[in-house]
Amino acid sequence: MPRMNRTAVLSLLIVISSVFLLFQLYYYRKYVSKPGPHILSQTGHLTTSDLQWQTVRLFLVLAHRFHLPVFLVDTTALRLLAHDASWQRELHCSFLCTDRPVMSFALFANMWKFDPAFLSAAKHKGFDVLELRGHDPRLASLDTLSGEDIPLYFLLRLHGFIIQVVFLYERSGNYLWHGPLRLKAKMDLSFAPFKQLDYGRHAGAYNRPDLVLTVLDGLDVRVPRNVSRFLYEQQHSRFLECRYHDARSFLQLYPDDTSPAAVDFHRKAKALLHLAAQTLAVLDVPFWLSSGTCLGWFRQCNIISYSHDVDIGIFITDYRPDIVTAFAAAGLSLKHKFGKVEDSLELSFLSDDVKLDIFFFYEDGDIVWNGGTQAKSGRKFKYIFQRFSLCWAELLELKVRVPCETLDYITANYGTSWSVPVMLWDWKSSPSNVQRNGLWPKHQWADLIQVY
């Protein structure tokens, strides 16, 4: 009898051991079979980091299966990479597990044909899925005010964590664009912590980043090769779309000039703006559309044909003494140089009978100003603006900067009647923000008033 009890106990132990081994095998196959950090903590319980790593791993498996060309754009994770040049840490979730409940990836939209099976597969794996769509601005124009709907974002939720997928589209100015994330009526506002998402508060514009495939926390992940550069672009990526609806209303009241002279100026101005952008990019000098060129973009999504010049602004802190040399090498001749670096500097170049005016802006407390000089009298003028930040926009198939507070900027220069064309414009008296600023001493004119 005792022998039978021992046999029964032994059999029971074997059964229990078998069940335990099957349980361990289940967890191994589900969580640990892929290379990466140990998914179970020392206590045998899943931690928050474990669940976040598992969520990212499962997303990347799905992305690989459906050939999504995604790369890491999460700002928190990328900052960790930027501060760890070796990109190597101990074997645990160091980069992909953060204190935030979100992780952001970007997708080159032109490299992936939209496949709804991806979302179905994600749901099958346990993800809650939210797809956000919007109008395609590449198809918008003054004739067609809205394009077809395109996917802008995927939000995938699992274990309380959100994977944000940002669609990046190529634009005609040879840059990448993503749209704003806007929730529509009846959408679940509690689906994700939307205020914590890195992308979507506004549209964004980026240069195409070079990518490198690396291993982070045991997972194959593509990341920007120049992480610091991408983070800088992300911080300054806000994009303003042209106001096609308002522009069309304006052109219905004031039809555009289609004369041969106007068409010729349009062609030359486009070439000049592209050349100026290329030249300043080599010097790493940022600029923005100013004066009449900015007004043309804001008011009619184009240049003003009767303006006869191209106007840009540069902060004096970005001035480089080799700007004149660089423009000369690009084929632009210096027409005049007024003022000095310390006060009211202004440069003007000529290319193919079209003038490029560069106004240098000075910061003074709550205001920003640029100067003007009357060559024949030595009189100085000052144009006052409230401080502004810079956003990206597109003009003449070129990615350019404009003041984010564009309406305030335009109103300061042209008053509240900026929407009405003014054919006769006196730069010394017509602007709403012009002030007299004294005289240049006559003995300094040779240095401060140079006309070529």
Closest CA to 150 of 216, 104, 203, 95: 203
Tokens standing for residue 35: 């290379």
Based on C-alpha coordinates, what's the Rg of the chain? Answer: 30
CB 37 within 8 A of CB 52: no
pLDDT of 372 > 80? The answer is yes
Domain 48-236 has CATH 3.30.460: yes
Q: What is the pLDDT of residue 15?
A: 64
What is the pLDDT at residue 147?
61
User: What confidence category does residue 39 fall into, taking pLDDT thresholds of 50, 70 and 90?
Assistant: very low
Spatial neighbors of 383 by CB under 8 A, at least 6 apart, are 369, 370, 371, 372, 412, 413, 431, 433, 434, 435
Which candidate, 437, 210, 431, places its Cα nearest to that of 343?
437
Would you say 360 and 294 are in contact if contact means Cβ atoms under 8 Å apart? no
* Mean pLDDT, the chain, whole residue set: 89
Provide mean pLDDT across the span 429-439. Answer: 95
Cα gap 439→443, rounded to integer Å: 11
The pairing of beta strand 149-158 with beta strand 398-403: unpaired
Cα 94 to chain centroid, rounded: 27
Cβ–Cβ under 8 Å, residues 414 and 295:
yes
pLDDT beyond 90 at 378: yes
- The pLDDT of residue 132 is 95
pLDDT-derived band of residue 19, with 50, 70 and 90 as boundaries?
Answer: low
Contact between 380 and 435 (Cβ < 8 Å): no
Q: What is the pLDDT of residue 14?
A: 72
Phi/psi of residue 212, nearest 5 degrees: -135, 140
What pLDDT band is residue 185 in, cutting at 50, 70 and 90? confident
Mean pLDDT of 43-50: 70
DSSP string computed for 407-433:
HHHHHHHH-TTTTS--SS--TTTSSTT
Q: Tens digit of pLDDT for each residue in 210-222?
A: 999 999 999 999 9
Share of the chain above pLDDT 90, in %: 75
Residue range(s) occupied by CATH 3.30.460 in the chain: 48-236
> Which of residues 185 and 391 earns the better pLDDT score?
391
In the prediction, which pLDDT does 187 show?
Answer: 82
158 vs 307: CA distance, rounded Å: 56
From CA 265, how far away is CA 256, in angstroms rounded? 13
DSSP state, 30?
I
Query: How close are the terminal C-alpha atoms of the chain, in Å?
Result: 118
DSSP of 254-311: SPPP-SHHHHHHHHHHHHHHHHHHHHHHHHT---EE-HHHHHHHHHHSS--TTT-EEE
Q: Are 339 and 346 in contact (CB under 8 A)?
A: yes
> What does the pLDDT read at residue 1?
44
Per-residue pLDDT, 49: 83
Q: Give per-residue pLDDT as tens, 240-299.
A: 999 999 999 999 999 989 999 999 999 999 999 999 999 999 999 999 999 999 999 999
Whether the per-residue pLDDT at 163 is higher than 90: the answer is yes
One-letter amino acid at 230 equals: F
Where is 438: in which H helix or E strand?
Answer: strand 434-439
DSSP string, 224-265: ESSHHHHHHHHHT-BB----HHHHHHHHHHSPPP-SHHHHHH
Mean pLDDT across the stretch 300-325?
95
Buried b (16+ CB within 10 A) or exposed e, 249-287: ebeeeeeeeeeeeeeebbebbbebbebbbebbeeeebeb
